[in-house]
Amino acid sequence: MTPPLKTPGSLPSRSQRSALRNSIPLAIITAVLLDFCFPVAGPMPRWHALIAWVALIPLLWALLRERAVQHPRYIRRAALTGYVCGVVWYILNCYWIYQTMLYYGHVPPFGSAGIVVLFSAVLGLYFGLFGLGLAFFRQRFGIVVALALAPFLWTALELAAARITSVPWDQLGYSQVDNLILTRLAPWTGVYGISFVLVLANVWFAGVWLARKQLRDSVRVGVSIVILVLLPLSARWSEPGASATSDYAVLLQPNIDVEPPDNWKGSEWQGNISWLTAAARQTCTPAFAGMPVPETPPPAQSCPENTPPPGIVLWPEVGSWMRSDDPRTLALLRTVATSANAPFIAGMEGEDPAGIYNSAVFVDSNGAVAGRYDKIHLVPFGEYIPYRDLLFFANHLTRQVGDFTRGRNRSVFQTGGHTFGVFICYESVFADEVRLFAKNGAQVLVNISDDGWYGDTSAPWQHLNMVRMRAIENDRWILRDTNNGVTTVIDPEGRVTVSAARHTITSLVARYGYKSDLTFYTRYGDVFAWLCCAVCLLALIVGVLPARRPSDGRTSFSTSAV
C-alpha cells in the first residue's frame, strides 16, 4: 500500500522532529569549531588552521541531509539552524565586545552582555541566509547543485557583511594567513578566494556522505580539479626566502592608558617628550623574531654599526593631547623629525573648519608638515554614535576619542623618492579600501592603531591576522605601530618579521622594503566576490522561475512547502 503523501500543512513525524532536535546541536558544533579557527587568547597555534577545512561539515549535514529535507517546513528550519550557528559563533568570536563595553563604555555587566547578544543576533542573520539559500537550492535543484553552490553563497554573504553591515570580522579565509600555499590566491581574489576554497573542501567532505550515489561518477572529475589547482602551486610548497629590505623604521609604542588621565599631560609632559625624542633616534632595540611571547622579555637584536637615518619614524593612534593645529604639537613633530633626520608619521586629532578627525600627520625630515590623512571608515560607537538620541548610553565610548568627522581622501605621503600609505585601526579589516592606498602609489603601507580597547582578549591577535592578509593581497610591507601591541613589521608574504613586547613603553627598530608592482587584487578589488554574487543571483532567478512540466505532466522540480 502506498503511504499517504504529506501535505504542506501536515505535522512532522517523530523522525522529522528528531531531525530538527539534532540539527541545532550540529549547528553549535560548527560554531565552536569555527571559533577555534581563529585566535582565542594569544597567537593562534598553526595547527588550528586545519580545523577550517572541516568546521562546516556538521552544519552542512544538518542543512542538507535527506531527513531534514523531508520536514514540511524544511526551508524555514534550515534558516533557523544557520541562524543559531551564526549567533553562537559571533558570541564566541567577539566576546571581547563585553570587556570593551564594561570597562571603557561603563555599561553595566548585564547591558554589556546584552550588547554582545544583540550584535551577534544581527550578524547571525548572514548565517541564517546561508541556511535559507542552501535549503532553497537543495529543494529546487537537488543535493549536488546545492553543494556546488555553497562556496559561492558563502563568499557572497561574506561580501555582504563587508558592504552592508561593515563588519567583515574574521572571515573564514583569515584562518589560513599562515598557509603560504593557499594565500597565493589572495593577490588575485583577496581573502574571499581563500574562503571559497575552504568551503569547497568542506562541501567535498560532506558530499562524500550526503550525495554518495550522485557523486560516484564525479569522483574522477573532482580529483582532476584538485590536481589542476595544486599543480600551479607546487612550485611554492617550500617557504619563500626572506623578503628583500632596503631601509629601517622606528616604531614608537607609548603604552598610554585608554582612559584618562594619562601621563602625557601635566608635570610629566616634558620627561615623556624627552623619551619620545630619544626613542625616535634609536638604531637598535630588543625585539622578538616573529610573534611576541607573552610575559617574556624580547631578546637583543644584532644590529650593524654606523646605521644611516631611518626611512620613517612612527607614532601610533592613541588618545592623547596631540592636535594638528596645536603649536606645541607642531613643535614636537618638528623636533622629532629633525633630531632623527627622518620623516615622521604621527597619529593625533586633526582639525579644520569642517570638523575634527582621527588623523595621521606626515612631517618630512626637515620638520615641515607635508600632509595629513583623515580616517575615512570610522568605528560606530567608538568614533561616532549613530542614532545618538536613541543610543544615549554610548556617549561613554566616544568621550576619549571624540565624535569624529569622516575623512574624504585616501591620500598618500611621498618623501625621498618613496611613497607611504596610512590606514588607521579598524580600516585594516576592509580589504577593498586598503588596496586603494597601494593603487594610489603607496610603496609601503603603515597601520597605526590603538588596540588597548580590546584588553588581553582574542581581538588584538585577530586584528593582527587581518592586517597580515592586507600585506599579502597587495604585495606590500606593512609597518604596524600600536599603542600597546602588537607593534610589528609584516613582510609581503604576510609573515611577522619582528615585534615588540606588549604592554610596555618601548620602541621597535625593524627592517622593511619598498615595492611598486600592483597585484590583480590591488588593481581591481573584489571582482571574484562579485562574481560569486552573480552566480548566486543567477541560481536564485532560475530557482524562482516556474517549474518546467515534462510531457507526462510531472514537474521537474520539487515543490515542498517552506
User: Does position 29 have pLDDT exceeding 50, yes or no?
Assistant: yes
Least confident stretch, 45-49, 345-349, 395-399, 450-454:
395-399
Note whether 448 and 478 are within 8 A (CB).
Answer: no
Note whether 252 and 276 are within 8 A (CB).
Answer: yes
User: Does position 173 have pLDDT exceeding 50, yes or no?
Assistant: yes
Residue 44 one-letter amino acid: M
Q: Is 87 helix (H, G, I), strand (E, B) or coil?
A: helix
Alpha-carbon span 361 to 91, nearest angstrom = 37
Note whether 123 and 86 are within 8 A (CB).
Answer: yes
Nearest to 186, CA basis, from 496, 521, 518: 521
Residue percentage of the chain with pLDDT more than 70: 83
Q: What is the pLDDT of residue 463?
A: 96
Specify whether 291 is located in the same domain as 323: yes
Specify whether 536 is located in the same domain as 468: no
Specify whether 67 is located in the same domain as 198: yes
The three cell numbers locating residue 33: 569549531
Alpha-carbon span 471 to 445, nearest angstrom = 8
User: Does position 304 have pLDDT exceeding 90, yes or no?
Assistant: no
Average pLDDT on 155-180 reads 95
User: Does position 298 have pLDDT exceeding 70, yes or no?
Assistant: yes
Q: What is the pLDDT of residue 319?
A: 77
Q: What is the pLDDT of residue 556?
A: 46
Q: Is residue 345 in a domain?
A: yes
- Give 396-427 as a 3 state SS string: HHHCCCCCCCCCCCCCEEEECCEEEEEEEHHH
Residue 536 one-letter amino acid: C
Alpha-carbon span 407 to 410, nearest angstrom = 8
Specify whether 361 is located in the same domain as 419: yes
CATH number at residue 408: 3.60.110.10
Alpha-carbon span 30 to 55, nearest angstrom = 5
Cα angle, residue 163 at apex, residues 158 and 169 outer, rounded to 5° = 50
Specify whether 209 is located in the same domain as 287: no
Alpha-carbon span 150 to 134, nearest angstrom = 7
Q: How confident is the model at residue 190 (pLDDT cuts 50, 70, 90)?
A: very high
Average pLDDT on 285-309 reads 86
Q: Is 348 helix (H, G, I), strand (E, B) or coil?
A: strand
Average pLDDT on 210-239 reads 56
Note whether 467 and 494 are within 8 A (CB).
Answer: no
Nearest to 96, CA basis, from 145, 35, 142, 155: 35
Q: How confident is the model at residue 122 (pLDDT cuts 50, 70, 90)?
A: very high
Q: What is the pLDDT of residue 480?
A: 98
Nearest to 246, CA basis, from 362, 367, 500, 417: 417
Would the pTM of this model clear 0.75, i.e. be above it?
Answer: yes
> Which tops the pLDDT comparison, 557 or 141?
141
Specify whether 177 is located in the same domain as 206: yes
Q: How confident is the model at residue 125 (pLDDT cuts 50, 70, 90)?
A: very high
Alpha-carbon span 104 to 501, nearest angstrom = 23
What does each C-alpha distance from 541 to 537, 551, 562 come to in angstroms?
6, 24, 17
Average pLDDT on 532-552 reads 82
Specify whether 293 is located in the same domain as 374: yes
Least confident stretch, 169-173, 389-393, 505-509, 510-514:
389-393
Specify whether 415 is located in the same domain as 325: yes
* Cβ contacts of 262 within 8 Å, gap of 6 or more: 256, 319, 320
The three cell numbers locating residue 62: 544538518
Hunting for cell 543610543 — which residue is that?
391
Determine if the peptide bond prior to 550 is cis (ω within 30°).
Answer: no
Q: What is the pLDDT of residue 225?
A: 58
Domains: count for the chain: 2
Q: What is the pLDDT of residue 305?
A: 72
Q: Is residue 38 in a domain?
A: yes
Alpha-carbon span 110 to 27, nearest angstrom = 26
Specify whether 122 is located in the same domain as 267: no
Specify whether 538 is located in the same domain as 516: no
Q: How confident is the model at residue 559 (pLDDT cuts 50, 70, 90)?
A: very low
Query: What is the extent of the structural domain holding 473?
Result: 249-522
User: Does position 233 have pLDDT exceeding 70, yes or no?
Assistant: no
Q: Is residue 201 in a domain?
A: yes
Specify whether 221 is located in the same domain as 258: no
pLDDT digits 0-9 by tens, 64-97 = 998 888 888 899 999 999 999 999 999 999 999 9
Least confident stretch, 20-29, 233-242, 452-461:
233-242
Average pLDDT on 200-224 reads 70
Q: What strand order describes the sheet that includes 288-289?
A: 288-289, 496-499, 488-490, 478-482, 444-449, 418-424, 412-415
Ranges of H-type helices in 36-99: 57-64, 66-69, 74-93, 96-99
Q: Is residue 124 in a domain?
A: yes
Q: Is residue 482 in a domain?
A: yes
> Which tops the pLDDT comparison, 259 or 450?
450
Determine if the peptide bond prior to 496 is cis (ω within 30°).
Answer: no
Q: Is 111 helix (H, G, I), strand (E, B) or coil?
A: helix
Q: Is residue 244 in a domain?
A: no
User: Does position 263 have pLDDT exceeding 60, yes or no?
Assistant: no
Q: How far is C-alpha 272 from the chain's CA centre? A: 34
Q: What is the pLDDT of residue 454?
A: 87
Specify whether 324 is located in the same domain as 432: yes
> Which tops the pLDDT comparison, 425 or 270?
425
Residue percentage of the chain with pLDDT more than 90: 62
Q: What is the pLDDT of residue 452?
A: 85
Q: Is residue 299 in a domain?
A: yes
Q: What is the pLDDT of residue 557?
A: 44
Q: Is residue 8 in a domain?
A: no
Q: What is the pLDDT of residue 354?
A: 86
Supply the DSSP symbol for 393. Answer: G
Bridge partners of 91, per DSSP, are none
Note whether 420 and 481 are within 8 A (CB).
Answer: no
Q: How confident is the model at residue 240 (pLDDT cuts 50, 70, 90)?
A: confident
Residue 42 one-letter amino acid: G
CA dihedral for 340, 343, 346, 349, sign (positive or negative): positive
Across the chain, mean pLDDT equals 86
Alpha-carbon span 515 to 418, nearest angstrom = 10
